[in-house]
Structure formats: C-alpha cells, structure tokens
Amino acid sequence: MTMFTAEILCVGNELLSGITVNTNAYWLSNKITESGGFVKRITVVGDNVDEIASAVKESIARRPDWLILSGGLGPTYDDKTLQGIAVGLNLDLALDKMAVEMLRRSYARRSITYELNEVRLKMAKIPRGSIPIQNPVGTAPSVIVEATPEKTRIICLPGVPKEMEAIFLESILPEIKNTVGDFYLKEGSFEVIGISEAMLAPMLSQLVESNPTDYSYIKTHPQEYSRDNKPRLRIQIVAKGKDKNEVEIRHNNISKMLIEEIGRLGGKIN
C-alpha cells in the first residue's frame, strides 16, 4: 500500500485568538484519513509573512507528499499566504495570466462587472512557476506550487470553508485516492463503566503490538466519573487497509478481545 502523507498549515489570526474553531483542519484531516492518507502535522500561524515563510520551510523539510495551506488568499491587507510562500521558497510573485482569466471568470459567473484594479489583481500575483486553479465558489484562485527544493507539493486553498472544500474535493482528493488505491476504513466506539485507562492499559499495549501500527488505532477517552464514582471510558477502534474483509475481521477481533477483557475486569458496556 503506497503511503500518502500530508501536513496542514492554516493561516489566520482568528485561529490564534480563539475567535474561530479550526474546523478547516478537522475537515481536511477527516477527508484525508478516510481516503487512506496520513496527516502528520497541523500548524496554525497568524497573518504574518515571516511566520508563514518559516512554517512552510519547516514543513517541506519534513518532506510530506503534500503541504496543504488554508486561508490568506484574498484581496485584503491581511491575506499574506502567497507572499509568505514566496519569501519561504525564495520565489518572486508575478501576475499570472491564467489567474487573471480565472478572476474574470469568477466575476462573470456572478454577472458582476468589477474593475480588475490593483487590489483585485493581488489575487492573481502568484509565486513564479506555480499553477493557479479556478475557484468554483468564490473569487481568489487556489495555487499549486511544485517548485519546492524537496519532493513536497504545496497547495494553497482559500480559508472560506465552502471554497476550500470544493477545491480540495476537485483537485486533491482524486490524487490521494489514486495514490493510495483501494482503501477501507472501519470505525466504531463504545462506552464502558467501571474501567479506568490504567486497568485497560496492559491489554491495549498487547493489542497495539499485535496489529499493524499504521492501520489499526485504539484510543481510550476518559469521561467524567459516574455519579456513584465509577470511571467511565469511551473506547474507539479504527481499522483500515486495502481489503474490506481483512479490515472487518481485524476490527471485530480487536473489539472482541477488548470486550472480553472488560468483562474479566468487572466493567460494564453502556
């Protein structure tokens, strides 16, 4: 099974000041994981050229297949993602004819005749050698940068969720599916009363050791104690792999062994 790895870099002061919950990173990592890819790191930086530049350089040094950025592509003073990438990778920003055409198309789609002034053309100034992608929902084109010194490809998605989602689904998801090939994921969780994480820890270690690390995932989430002071856990089991049947069997085996151990320890499944 070919691995597909990604890092996510979200740009926006509102994500650092507790104004906006980072649902973009959640949505992206969900889609990537359920298609068989692996998100290795999520980073959030503010609307600051140097911060974006450093984060991009650090990320591509770790060599993920893709670095997916979100936010900072618009026309306002605080939209600095492309500038950050240009500084980080030592590329010029240049007005791109195709990107200008995409802007025109975006405005035409809404039957709006805006003057393509300096402010609007900012959205078409992209790192030299990069590829603009039509934004099917909003205005600012998305941008793919392939000219990194490492193997990583960079895609800049808009921060507006609907725009980000549309371009991701059109331009990145097919590539992940293509790379990973057949993929099946089974997830399930259940709640247990009377069992603490510590009680279950030895069996968890055993299960994790005897199953393929990257394609099995067991996590215990401690909940608040019950009214009669009993520990409560939510236990989550994820199995994934190329073969549906094999994944089902692995998921069922892990569940079965956990449920037996919980019974042995005197726990109850809720």
Binding site for a copy of itself (CB under 8 A): 13-23, 25-34, 38-46, 51, 55, 58, 74-78, 110-112, 114, 117, 119-120, 138-139, 160, 162, 187, 196-198, 200-202, 204-205, 208, 217, 219-222, 224-225, 229, 236, 238
Least distance CB 105 / a copy of itself (angstroms): 15
Helix (H, G, I), strand (E, B) or coil at 17: coil
**Cβ-based nearer residue to a copy of itself, 162 or 256:** 162
Least distance CB 76 / a copy of itself (angstroms): 5
Q: How far apart are CA 250 and CA 193, in angstroms?
A: 24
**Cβ-based nearer residue to a copy of itself, 119 or 147:** 119
Least distance CB 25 / a copy of itself (angstroms): 7
Q: How far apart are CA 210 and CA 150, in angstroms?
A: 35
Q: Tabulate helix, strand, coil % of the chain (nearest 5).
A: 45, 25, 30
**Cβ-based nearer residue to a copy of itself, 146 or 205:** 205
Least distance CB 14 / a copy of itself (angstroms): 6
Least distance CB 32 / a copy of itself (angstroms): 7
Estimate the crossing angle of helix 81-89 against helix 49-61, to 10 degrees. 50
Number of other CB atoms surrounding residue 22 within 10 Å: 17
**Cβ-based nearer residue to a copy of itself, 91 or 159:** 159
Beta strands in 88-203 (DSSP E): 93-95, 125-127, 131-133, 142-145, 153-157, 184-193
Q: How far apart are the first and last CA of the chain?
A: 37
**Cβ-based nearer residue to a copy of itself, 91 or 160:** 160
96's tokens: 């791109």
Is the Cβ–Cβ distance between 161 and 207 less than 8 Å? no
**Cβ-based nearer residue to a copy of itself, 34 or 248:** 34
Least distance CB 65 / a copy of itself (angstroms): 15
